[in-house]
Amino acid sequence: MIFVVAPHPDDEAIGCVGTLLLHLAARDSVCVAIATDGRRSQVIADPVEMSAQRRREATEAARLMQIDRLEWIGLPEGQWNVSSLQEALIGLLAQADPDIIYAPSRIDFHPEHWKVAHALALALGDPRTLRLRDRRVRAYQVQVPLTPFVSNVVADISAFVPLCERVLRAYASQSGTIAGTCRQRRYSARLHRITGQAEEFWEMSVDRYVALHRSSPADWPRAFRGVRGFPLTDPLAYLVGLRERQKLKALQCAATNHAGSVAARL
């Protein structure tokens, strides 16, 4: 079982849609859990209708991917507490018993992404999910590049590009925020000498993910910048936060006794 934790409806598509299609092609079961309802997008003035629209989009994206299970936790964006999501995730994780968990990480700038990563770490560190400690977590990138400093798994998704783009278009209300996603995948492909598009991940043990994300996000450095609408500024997303990425890589290497300088192919 592959388990995906998405802070908002669209983060699963931005972060790992091509890789999920690879898993599905290999006949892996996939469950996507969407933590919040995205009501603060403001594309639609009424937050209740905004939430409903984003749920419709998530449902259509799941249909296009043909995933096995979509779990709409749907906490009201900006108005939820960590313990609520922690408990919801504990129940879903215990039920799904996943082999690999795709998740947000602290290499990000969005406070809701950080908060979800923190809640997931607390859920994975709970005694009720103890049997998952030998599983793996793959942190995905949402606008903020992991870069080769920390990415250690890369997926060649070139064969699925047309379907990936259809899934992204299902999130019509978010077209502005996902505009740089395809550019970012092309950059990842070039960095890893792949012709086409690629997705990068920072794979680690459950224990390492918990150790890196269990502290309060209030204590995490606000060090990163994302890929934005104007392509000429894209290099800044790779350069800003370089020192923090180096620190995180050092922590990962210390935990694994492996330099991780070459990303493994998925």
Q: Is the dihedral of CA 165, 170, 174, 176 positive or negative?
A: positive
The model's pLDDT over 59-91, given as tens digits with 9 standing for 90+, comes to: 999 999 999 999 999 999 999 999 999 999 999
Cα dist from 42 to 39, 46, 215, 235, whole Å:
7, 8, 30, 28
The model's pLDDT over 103-132, given as tens digits with 9 standing for 90+, comes to: 999 999 999 999 999 999 999 999 999 999
CATH of the domain at 255: 3.40.50.10320
**E strands in the chain:** 2-6, 30-36, 69-75, 100-103, 136-140, 153-156, 198-205, 264-265
Q: Closest Cα to residue 234, out of 182, 173, 169, 167? A: 182
- Parent domain of 209: 2-265
Considering its fold, how many domains does the chain have in total?
Answer: 1
Quote the pTM value: 0.95
What is the predicted pLDDT for the residue at 105?
A: 97
